[in-house]
């Protein structure tokens, strides 16, 4: 059974722009999945810190 996912053209373009490869490569490569997920986690933490700092200044 293959894991097929419907990916829009915009999602595919975004994946190429941000990571240099598409969803098909992402799905096939554990190394690429880990790279993407590490970057997403880093971005999430940076944005959460920014939100928290701003909220504390305004609060």
CA separation (Å) from 37 to 13, 32, 54, 59? 18, 9, 26, 32
Condensed to tens digits (0 to 9), the pLDDT of residues 1-58 reads 345 568 899 999 999 999 999 999 999 999 999 999 999 999 999 999 999 999 999 9
The confidence score (pLDDT) of residue 24 equals 93
- pTM for this prediction: 0.74
The confidence score (pLDDT) of residue 2 equals 43
Q: Is 2 helix (H, G, I), strand (E, B) or coil?
A: coil
The confidence score (pLDDT) of residue 6 equals 83
22-27 long-range contacts (CB < 8 A, ≥24 apart) are 27/3
The confidence score (pLDDT) of residue 23 equals 93
């Amino acid at each position: 059974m293959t894991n097929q996912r419907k990916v829009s053209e915009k999602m595919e373009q975004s994946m190429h722009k941000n990571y240099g490869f598409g969803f098909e490569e992402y799905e096939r490569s554990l190394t690429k999945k880990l790279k993407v997920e590490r970057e997403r986690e880093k971005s999430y933490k940076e944005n959460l810190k920014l939100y928290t700092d701003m909220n504390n200044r305004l609060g």
